[in-house]
Amino acid sequence: MGDGDQARETPITNNVIPLQQSMFRELKDNETGRISKEYFEIRRKLRDFEAIANRSPAAVFLWRLGDDWPVEFLCGNVTQFGYTRQEFLDGDISWGEVIHPDDVSRLERERKDCRERGIDKFTQEYRLKTRSGKICWVEDRTIAIRNGAGVTTHYQSIIFDITKRKQLEERLFRTTEQMERLVDERTAELARANEQLQLDIAMLRQAEEQRRHLEQMLQQSQKMEAIGTLAGGIAHDFNNILGGIMGFTELALLDLQEGSAAYNNLKNSLKAQYRAVEMVNQILAFSRQTESDPVPVKVSAITKEVVKLLRMSIPSTIEITLELNAVSDMVIADPARIHQILMNLCTNAAHAMREHGGKLIISLSNVDIGLDTAMVCPELVPGQYVQLFVRDTGQGIDPLIRDRIFDPFFTTKKPGEGTGMGLAVVYGIVKGLKGTIDLESRPGEGTLFRVLIPAIEHHTTESSDVMDMMPGGQERILFVDDEEFLVRIGEQVLSRLGYMVVARTSSVEALEAFRAQPENFDLVITDLNMPNMTGIDLSQELMHIRPDIPIILCTGFSERIIEDKARKLGIQEFIIKPIIMSTLAKTIREILERRR
């Protein structure tokens, strides 16, 4: 190119460069404006976000994984816990320091577990210490932030104050716990109430059963009372008859030569009459509703009577064996109670063998209880006892019911076969006699009842002969009985003894005779049961006339009430019919000698 050409190009170039610079400046200003605009927009959005975050109830922060969890970002509403953002950002305080110390180790374990399992999102609940020292609960929703190598370096958390929720939960928990406790208590109360109800029902059933048994016992008692009344009347008449037989027999013996055939026959007849008297007394004792005073009782005699009754009443398939090996079998007891012990034990034994038969063994022996035995069994005292065994070969007693065998109303018998009172009554009688009762039994092998009753010394006395020396006298006696043959016997017996006798068969006539000459009589013997005027009424009239007159009251049936009433009236003696000659003679003499 020539110089001319170069000259022509220079102005163009000079114009282009400023244009480019102008365009560049324009572009730069535009880009700067755009960037600036975007920057300010971002700043605005950040301010808006920060404002929103600050107004949010949640606290947003970013903390680096490390000791005490240093915070790199934190929104302003951390002030709800009493702290400022700057305290955390400047490192004056770390997030780990505000966490309750009791929760730190747990949180670290949970986060470590999440890291190891690759869990990046998790939620935790823990306690924070506020600036004021108050403890509040927070819910921490955490997201793990990893670097390019996939290693967790930071955690971003959103924390919500859940103190009120926790309080509600705690209140709900306490309420639930209280409700559960109340439910448990109520359930326990209902269980106790149900148990008590079942117990009440059982007691009502037992009471009803006892009522039925008591009704049966009342009916039985009424029957026995009727039997006792009937037996009393029969015994009175029967004893009067026996009295006549015995009286005339004794009088006949006085007129016969001892050793003659007639004498021996009448002597044996008299022994049979004594036997009849014992049988009547046993019947009276068994039917009597009130207890008699304890007296010396020969157990073997009652046992023999019971065996006789049993042989007439139990099946012949039951063999009865009686073993009397007691040297001393005397005890202090009411004979009726000994009879009751034997009858109840033996009838129970017979009942156990009613289907297949068997053996009933009754034995009496003596046993000495030493101090060692008495110490083991406090119910016994050292000494000699009468030992009664009642053994059967029946079905035995189930071990499950052995402890209840002496309970009142307990029975294994079918309805109508027993009341369940037999063994309970036996137990009570034996205890009342200061004795013991026990049993041995095996199912299928039978049962053994063992009774121990304290023995007393037995002073044997020879039965008095009619011809024995009987005390007599010369006093004047008024003898009163409505049975003419008894009056004749009494008159003869007393006359033979030397007494002067005025005999009457009427209590009214006897009162008239006494009233006519009250000082002429030294003693009055009167029957109890007489028409028009009883023996007690007659005695009252006689003592009204002459208070010091001694009186002997005779009866064929002893009742405690009558005897007590008679003694309160001043009647000296009470004799049970039939009257034995020797007994009457000794009683008369004792009374008259006391008046001297």
Q: Using one digit for the tens of pLDDT, what is the confidence trace for 173-185?
A: 888 888 999 999 9
pLDDT tens-place string over residues 438-474: 888 888 888 899 999 998 875 444 444 444 567 888 9
Better-scored residue on pLDDT, 92 or 323? 323
Q: What is the pLDDT of residue 228?
A: 65
> What three-state secondary structure class fits 507?
helix
Using CA atoms, how far apart are residues 301 and 11, in angstroms rounded to an integer?
175
Q: What is the pLDDT of residue 281?
A: 66
Is residue 386 over pLDDT 80?
yes
Terminal C-alpha separation, the chain: 205
- Comparing 59-161 with 294-454, is the CATH topology the same? no
Token look-up 């009142």 returns 408
Q: What is the pLDDT of residue 43?
A: 60
pLDDT tens-place string over residues 49-86: 555 555 566 777 787 777 666 777 777 677 788 888 78
Q: What is the pLDDT of residue 284?
A: 62
Residues 6+ apart with CB under 8 A from 208: none
Instruction: Average the pLDDT over each of 125-139, 185-199, 459-473, 517-531 and give the range with the smallest value.
Output: 459-473
| CATH code for the domain defined by 294-454 | 3.30.565.10
Q: Pick the most confident of 17-26, 241-250, 353-362.
A: 353-362
User: In Å, what is the CA distance from 370 to each residue of 375, 377, 383, 452?
Assistant: 9, 11, 7, 14
Using CA atoms, how far apart are residues 460 and 490, in angstroms rounded to an integer?
29
pTM for this entry = 0.46
Q: Pick the most confident of 204-218, 244-258, 536-550.
A: 536-550
Confidence band for 546, pLDDT divided at 50, 70 and 90: very high
Q: Where are the domains of the chain?
A: 59-161, 174-290, 294-454, 476-595
pLDDT tens-place string over residues 358-371: 999 999 999 988 88
Measured over all CA atoms, what is the biggest interatomic distance in the chain, rounded to whole angstroms?
A: 217
Fold category of 59-161 in CATH: Beta-Lactamase (3.30.450)
Instruction: Average the pLDDT over each of 168-172, 248-252, 255-259, 281-285 and give the range with the smallest value.
Output: 281-285
Whole-number average pLDDT of the chain: 80
Fold category of 476-595 in CATH: Rossmann fold (3.40.50)
Rg of the chain in Å (alpha carbons):
59
Better-scored residue on pLDDT, 268 or 545? 545
Burial class (CB in 10 A: 0-12, 13-18, 19+), 556: buried
